[in-house]
Structure 1
Amino acid sequence: MWKRQYISKGGRITLIRSTLSNLRIYFMSIFQLPKVVRMRLEQIQRDFLWGGGTLEQKLHLVRWPMVCVDKSKGGLGVKSVGSFNRALLGKWVWRFANEKKALWNQVIRRKYREGRGGWRSCEAREAYGVGLWKAINKMGQLVPLFLGFVVGDGKNVSFWKDKWCRTTLFCEAFPSLFALATSKEAWVNEVWIAEGERRGSWTPHFNRPFNDWEMEEVGRLLCCLDGKMVRVDEEDRVRWMDSKDEVFSVKSLYRALQPVSLASFPLKIIWNSCVQPKLSFFVWEASWGRVLTLDRLQKRGWALTNRCFLCQTCGESIDHLLLHCERTREVWSCSSLFLEFLGSFLIRLRKPF
């Protein structure tokens, strides 16, 4: 509480990202934080960022979900406690699918049994003694959305219900063919007929012959299967579709859990390494129009006369103060002339005598 009196908001953001957001990583990587704890942690960070002195409470100018958005999307890059907790617990689902020979993995497989294909454990339904893995498995339900499969022997990958060919499920991409399939739970190796070590053909079975209007969809299915094959000497493995190296990372899952934003934000202009953090923070507030000018104070219920203190002609707003005010234009013109003079002076210094 006392430290925030002596550092700027730019320094507070640095301290939040380096300390307050990282103290709880070990606990969040194993346990699911209760909602009360999560809200309390976020409240501490909010009060530290926007607060004044020890007993002084200031207005929170920007909504906390926007503060937790990445800087490239207009936020401050502070980690959201809930999303970060889910991303850390999701790593165990990835490890469960890849570290099959580990002791902890074998214990969980024996106790809770394996799900379809052996990539996940079955849901823990007992009332006692399963709180730890039950929470991890529940949080891990988001992970399969970003998982794909690389087919080896094809024994543990479903032909219709797993993402092993491109990024779509065959049951969703070809719903009419899936409805006609004889075995909707068929594995990839059951649909493949080997004709040598590196040769074979795909033979999915259907309940009836195809009609003329269904042949186009059959052709698209065969195009998707073109070049795909089963390798008996290799095992099936999981790949992470949200990264280039196909390896899971908490960072990639955390970014995938963030809300999608199509708005462009001038990241490199505002968060410049040559500019002091407190100035960058003020520009960030101004870009969202959240500076406490007189017009915003009136919206919050303050009985004030809205008059610009510089020109005394127009109402005070963030656009008027920084762009349209006559005195502000004089400052910008003087600064532009100074920059032109400084640039020409530096060019002359670089020229040889």
Structure 2
Amino acid sequence: MQRPHLVRWNLVCMEKRKGGLGVRNLALMNRALISKWNWHFANEREAFWKKVINQKYGVEEGDWCTRAVSERYGVGLWNAIRNKWLFFKNRLTYQVGNGRSVKFWKDKWYGDELLCESFPSLYSISLSKDAWVSDVWNPNRDGESWTPLFSRAVNDWEIAMVERFMLKIQAFRVQKEDDDRVVWTASKSGDFSVKSLYSILEPGEAVLFPCNGIWRVTAPPKVAFFAWEASWGKILTLEQVQRRGYFMANRCFLCLSKMETADHLLLHCVKTRVLWNLVFSLFGVAWVLPCTVKDTLLG
């Protein structure tokens, strides 16, 4: 007889801190590994393989990625890599060096937003919406400063906004000797990792789950696995059997009075409470058991 499947596969594939078993989803892992080549392309400026790719497909302004692949044959691999660029770019910021490869308005180089989104009114009257950071930076004899050019003089009611705009960028200085580089925002170091991208791609958000109380204790693996199942209420109780279409009376086989659920069987059954009270008395603990196994392990 085939044993029933108690836990959904997508839950099994979630990280342990999110309540899963940490089994890798191969489709998401493949997507993360493919995206890694976008990071290599953006950072390895002088690599020979990058020069070959540039020569074949051409490069977009800034030299961060190639142009979109349009040929039909023989380009499946790079096409798959290039198609991940827009998703990948949304997790990048730019560290400005000389400012020759970073768009002043359209790239995320100062703060958490694009300047064109933070100041849409000023962007709409900008003379050069595709200007590089180096184009707006003006080193002169009296000192270095920002000189964005607009198509008209600002109105009185726009002066406060212009002041906020200049205050936002005036503390930043372009470093002529350094090259621009990309920074991966999903890691503290700023360097790309497949693990961090996989975590972003993985569905589901971090939940309050007792992963430390299950996996980081001195207990046999089968005990830890049973505790994980019980935390999700997925042990094979009569309640679970009924959900799978079997018609039978649902009574706890210990007390014969309540419905047999995971929480009742392991916590609240009168027979089980005798065992809990014995444990509490041995350790001198006065404790009221929570409603669920998950809350008990969290406590």
TM-score w.r.t. the length of structure 1 is 0.77
Q: What aligned pairs does 1:262-301 form with structure 2 within 5 A after superposition?
A: 262-301=206-245
Q: Give 1:136 deviation, angstroms.
A: 1.4
What is the DSSP-based 3-state SS (H/G/I as helix, E as strand, rest coil) of the residue aligned with 1:200?
A: strand
Look up the match of 1:205.
Answer: 149
**What is the total number of aligned residue pairs between the two structures?**
285
Q: Give 1:196 deviation, angstroms.
A: 5.5
Instruction: Work out the CA distance in 2 between the residues paired with 1:261 and 1:80.
Output: 16
Look up the match of 1:114.
Answer: 59
Q: Is the 8 A contact 1:89 1:140 kept in 2?
A: no
**What is the aligned counterpart of 2:279 among 331, 335, 338?**
335
Instruction: Work out the CA distance in 2 between the residues paired with 1:331 and 1:143.
Output: 54
Q: What aligned pairs does 1:166-315 form with structure 2 within 5 A after superposition?
A: 166-195=111-140, 199-315=143-259
**What is the aligned counterpart of 1:127 among 64, 72, 81?**
72
Instruction: Work out the CA distance in 2 between the residues paired with 1:196 and 1:237.
Output: 28
Instruction: Work out the CA distance in 1 between the residues paired with 2:99 and 2:67.
Output: 21
Instruction: Work out the CA distance in 1 between the residues paired with 2:28 and 2:267.
Output: 38
Instruction: Work out the CA distance in 1 between the residues paired with 2:33 and 2:146.
Output: 39
Sequence identity of aligned pairs in percent? 47
Q: Give 1:61 deviation, angstroms.
A: 1.6
What is the DSSP-based 3-state SS (H/G/I as helix, E as strand, rest coil) of the residue aligned with 1:116?
A: coil
Instruction: Work out the CA distance in 2 between the residues paired with 1:214 and 1:296.
Output: 65
RMSD of equivalent CA atoms = 1.8
Larger mean Cα displacement after TM superposition, 250-259 or 111-120: 250-259
Q: Give 1:243 deviation, angstroms.
A: 1.4
Deviations, residues 258-307 of structure 1 (Å, cap 9, x unaligned) = 23525311221121231122111111111111222112221221111001
User: Which runs of 5 or more structure 2 residues have no equivalent in the other structure?
Assistant: 286-299
Instruction: Work out the CA distance in 2 between the residues paired with 1:58 and 1:222.
Output: 67
* 2:220 maps to amino acid: Q
Deviations, residues 166-204 of structure 1 (Å, cap 9, x unaligned) = 22111122222211211110100110100269x411111
Q: Is the 8 A contact 2:18 2:209 kept in 1?
A: yes
* 1:191 maps to amino acid: V
Q: Is the 8 A contact 2:17 2:206 kept in 1?
A: no
Instruction: Work out the CA distance in 2 between the residues paired with 1:91 and 1:135.
Output: 12
Q: Is the 8 A contact 1:98 1:237 kept in 2?
A: yes
Q: Give 1:226 deviation, angstroms.
A: 2.7
User: Which runs of 5 or more structure 1 residues have no equivalent in the other structure?
Assistant: 1-55, 342-353
What is the DSSP-based 3-state SS (H/G/I as helix, E as strand, rest coil) of the residue aligned with 1:109?
A: helix
Instruction: Work out the CA distance in 2 between the residues paired with 1:329 and 1:294.
Output: 20
* 2:148 maps to amino acid: P
TM-score w.r.t. the length of structure 2 is 0.90
Of Structure 1 and Structure 2, which has the larger fraction of its residues in helix? Answer: 1
Look up the match of 2:98.
Answer: 153
